[in-house]
Structure 1
Amino acid sequence: MILEQYYTKCLAQGTYYISSNGEAAIIDPLREVQQYIDRAEQDKVAIKYIFLTHFHADFVSGHVDLADKTGATIVIGPNAVTSYAFAKAAHLQTFTIGGISLQLLHTPGHTMESSCYLLRDEQGKEQALFTGDTLFIGDVGRPDLAAKSELSVDDLAGHLYHSLRDLILPLPDHIIIYPAHGAGSACGKNMSAETSDTLGNQKKTNYALAPSLSKKDFIKELTTGIEPPPAYFPKNVWMNKGVNSSIDEVISRGITPLKLAAFKALAEDPEYLVLDVRSPQEYTAGSIPGSWFIGLDGQFAPWVGSLIENIDQKIILITPEGREKETVTRLARVGYDNAQGYLIGGFSAWKTSGFEISSIENVTAQGFIDGLEDGSIKNPIDTRRPGEYESGHICSVPLHTLSLVLEEVKRLNSEKIYHIHCAGGYRSVIFSSIAKANGIKYAVNVEGGFGAIKKTNLKNQKIVATSNCSL
């Protein structure tokens, strides 16, 4: 038996490849499916099944493309409804892959079709559980994504409580838990950076599995402090229930090379968004006026999905040389299939042409503190998440979280100078770029963010681990 985890850091997502005796299965595939086909060919096996743990909200799965290319059967648990052919599996139904088997455990709660798959080896011994978003390492799935008028968030949390208690906790301690996500995903609150663990250790360390936790307390714990889901989540669920454009078609269109004149004409068309995916340092030094920055070397795809409201938005790209295909692929992972091409020669081609360029001033963390101290900095902004802000922030700096930037900029004064920081300098440049694209003339980026700020001479600036600065 071969079992391999394909972990994608940008999405904090795990796909699983399992093979035995000439057959293979894929669990929760990403959209770019050729990697799984290549692996199966390398191992001289045929992909027999494609298992979904549920309809994912945070990425578009490649199950339909993979089934079309391999002839494999898509398997989804009870309550699933789609526009494509699939095998709707029953609770405890078993599927054989060579000499091993996967048994579906219907575990509603995160969503109502959510299921886990219990792996038994050639000797019939339980070895692993693929838990999707039902059970993470250190956490469990959020219960609010599938809430409807007839099924409340509390109802879903209650279902999850029983799924965990009745079906997962009784399993042997030695089995390995393989979840769909890890730290950085918005599908839970407190996920570990570890991508697998024994069930026995999770029983000891995962708050949601504590034996003393009553159903009432579990529901309260699970439903408290959940941030609103990113706006693209329901759109990705809808896409995962339907048939989408082939990833090959999406990539082919997105990597169309555009000459300078053609690119400039599209950049001036209000239907197009110029997306610059270079580093924060490169973007602040010079960019195309009106372009948005979301850097590839960060949580690129989730921020694209959270901030670009129209999933059908026409996008043209400024990329580092050689990373055009990567950019289009990562856009497609979250359903942004309408990339129309990239500028040949990148930003350098734009700059050497003599066209207008924009830039964002940077200030050091100490310069930021000094400016707060002497009053020269009057409009500071913290762009982190509410939980980060509450765990520690400068009393004189208000929160304008990045995920709400399009609403936040409407409350800003276009003539004022805003000094903007996040945790490390990535999100603050995103915020600054979108603010400038929406009429804010003066945005200054604080280099190194809050991490650097904490290391400065704070003088009279007070950092508190509470929202109440009077303490």
Structure 2
Amino acid sequence: MNISTIETTSLGDRSYLIDDGEVAAVIDPQRDVDRPLALAGERGVRITHVFETHIHNDYVTGGLELARVTGADYIVSALDDVKFQHRPIADGETVEVGTMRITAMHTPGHTHHHLSFVLHNDTGAPEAVFTGGSMLYGSTGRTDLLGSQHTSELTHAQFHSVRKLADELPPTVAVYPTHGFGSFCSATPTTGDSSTIGEQQEVNPALTKDEQSFVDELIAGLAEFPAYYAHMGVINTEGPQPVDLRMPEQVDPSTLRKRINDGEWVVDLRQRRAFAAGHLSGSMGFELSTSFVTYLGWLYSWGSPITLVGTSRSEVMDARRDLARIGVDNITGAAVGHVVDLARPGETLRQYRVATFADLASEHPSRAFTVLDTRRTDEHEKGAVPGSINIPLHELLARRDEVPAGEVWVHCESGYRASVAASLLDRPGRDIVLIDDAFTNAHKVS
């Protein structure tokens, strides 16, 4: 048997392809199903089964589409009330995939109907377990995504599910979670890139703490999660539409300016310092990086048309793929090239200064300006620049009027959120300074 990992670093998730040399199963595929299809081609195997550990809240599943294009059985918990054709599976039920055997194990906590899937070797012994959002590496999946009214119940269930995995599986069994590599679906940060049941018995809070301590600490540590999560469960329950990853239609400078003036989402994908050095007035700067889709999705007005601005076709195509993974499909155009060439004749580009915390330390005592912290409230409360105001990035569009007039220095933890905030605040009459620096250097400011 072979287990191949498909990373989606922008969302902190993993999918898996399991094969016996002839046929394969895919666990928790993302919406861009060309990746597991390509991997199956490389392996020379045919996908016959697609398994879903749970109805995902952080991305649009590719399970339905992958089953459609391959003719595979789409296996979903028998307890989930979904609106599409599938093969229901219950706790303890085993499916044969070629020479492989995969058994469902009900592990509620991340969701009510969550399943883990145990892969058995040729002798029938458990060899690996695909834990979805249950047992993660040194953590567990968060338990508040279905509403606060379920959080306590699901947190207790999560504790018992992880204990169930540890009690029923040998310590040598390899653990393959879907979430936990930067995903907001993780209750707390995870550690490591691989693990076993035995290793988790030493480090996982659900296995090292008593039940009430685990429950209290997990709930106390739950931070805010992206707003787009509210749409994922609905889309995945109804059945996602086929994905469109084609290059959007090119728009000219006049059309681009009209869309900005009409208040549409015109998203500049260039590096944050390049955006600061010159950009179309009114455009939004979301540097294409591993943070791109999370924060654009968090701020996005759901269903609004988006025009992407990039330096190359590949940049635009990568952004479209990332957005498709969370169901942002209304991409109505793209403008590719040097930003000077994307402006109308005679149009002046906007720009603002980029600085460091050392610059802030040297200038703050002698000049009056506002320092805006765009980190989450819980981050700000753990340590902040003296005198700074805190408006988390995901609240900024609704609270822009609270930012004082005049010069504003904007920061976050690493510079990414601050760069988005700077682009949203930059308008004629405002003087923006982006602090593109690690917050670990903020101690220089007194």
TM-score, normalised with respect to structure 2: 0.94
Residue equivalent to 1:306: 298
* Residues 12-59 of structure 1, C-alpha deviations (whole Å, 9 max, x = no match): 110000011421000111111112112223333221111111111111
Q: Does 1:445 align with 2:408?
A: no
Range moving further from structure 2, 131-140 or 350-359: 350-359
* Residues 132-170 of structure 1, C-alpha deviations (whole Å, 9 max, x = no match): 11111111111111137xx52111112222222234443
Q: Does 1:207 align with 2:198?
A: no
**CA shift for structure 1 position 286:** 0.9
| Equivalence map 1:268-287=2 (5 Å) | 268-270=261-263, 272-287=264-279
The one of 194, 197, 200 equivalent to 2:195 is 197
Q: 1:440 to 1:245 in 2, by over 3 A?
A: farther
Range moving further from structure 2, 99-108 or 339-348: 339-348
Residue equivalent to 1:154: 152
**CA shift for structure 1 position 242:** 2.0
TM-score, normalised with respect to structure 1: 0.89
Residues 310 and 336 of structure 2 are in contact (CA less than 8 Å); yes or no, is this contact kept in structure 1? no
Amino acid at match of 1:243: G
Residues 92 and 105 of structure 1 are in contact (CA less than 8 Å); yes or no, is this contact kept in structure 2? yes
Residues 424 and 452 of structure 1 are in contact (CA less than 8 Å); yes or no, is this contact kept in structure 2? no
Secondary structure class of the residue paired with 1:404: helix
Distance 1:192 1:217 in 2: 19
Range moving further from structure 2, 189-198 or 121-130: 189-198
Q: 1:446 to 1:213 in 2, by over 3 A?
A: same
Amino acid at match of 2:281: P
Distance 2:167 2:183 in 1: 24
Residue equivalent to 1:433: 423
**CA shift for structure 1 position 451:** 3.4
**CA shift for structure 1 position 406:** 2.1
The one of 388, 412, 416 equivalent to 1:422 is 412
Q: 1:267 to 1:386 in 2, by over 3 A?
A: closer
| Equivalence map 1:113-132=2 (5 Å) | 113-132=113-132
Distance 1:58 1:377 in 2: 41
The one of 387, 390, 398 equivalent to 2:389 is 398
Residues 76 and 113 of structure 1 are in contact (CA less than 8 Å); yes or no, is this contact kept in structure 2? no
**CA shift for structure 1 position 352:** 7.5
- Equivalences, count: 445
Distance 1:317 1:244 in 2: 23
Residues 162 and 207 of structure 2 are in contact (CA less than 8 Å); yes or no, is this contact kept in structure 1? yes
Residue equivalent to 2:47: 47
Amino acid at match of 2:240: N
The one of 333, 344, 361 equivalent to 1:369 is 361
Amino acid at match of 2:432: A
Q: 1:273 to 1:440 in 2, by over 3 A?
A: farther
Residue equivalent to 1:381: 372
Residue equivalent to 1:62: 62
* Residues 349-401 of structure 1, C-alpha deviations (whole Å, 9 max, x = no match): 12483323211222232221122222x14311122234433443333323222
Secondary structure class of the residue paired with 2:267: strand
Secondary structure class of the residue paired with 1:35: helix
Amino acid at match of 2:289: D
Distance 2:304 2:166 in 1: 42
Range moving further from structure 2, 256-265 or 295-304: 256-265
Q: 1:348 to 1:121 in 2, by over 3 A?
A: farther
Residue equivalent to 1:331: 323
Residues 21 and 98 of structure 1 are in contact (CA less than 8 Å); yes or no, is this contact kept in structure 2? no
Distance 1:312 1:396 in 2: 38
The one of 185, 188, 202 equivalent to 1:187 is 185
Unaligned runs of 5+ in 1: 462-471
Residue equivalent to 2:161: 163
Distance 1:153 1:69 in 2: 37
Identity across matched positions, percent:
26
Unaligned runs of 5+ in 2: none
* Residues 212-268 of structure 1, C-alpha deviations (whole Å, 9 max, x = no match): 413x22221221131222111020111111233321xx323x522223333333333
Amino acid at match of 1:55: I
Range moving further from structure 2, 317-326 or 261-270: 261-270
Residues 188 and 221 of structure 2 are in contact (CA less than 8 Å); yes or no, is this contact kept in structure 1? no
Amino acid at match of 2:417: R
Amino acid at match of 1:393: A
Distance 1:279 1:193 in 2: 29
Q: 1:217 to 1:142 in 2, by over 3 A?
A: same
Residues 31 and 333 of structure 1 are in contact (CA less than 8 Å); yes or no, is this contact kept in structure 2? yes
Secondary structure class of the residue paired with 1:289: coil
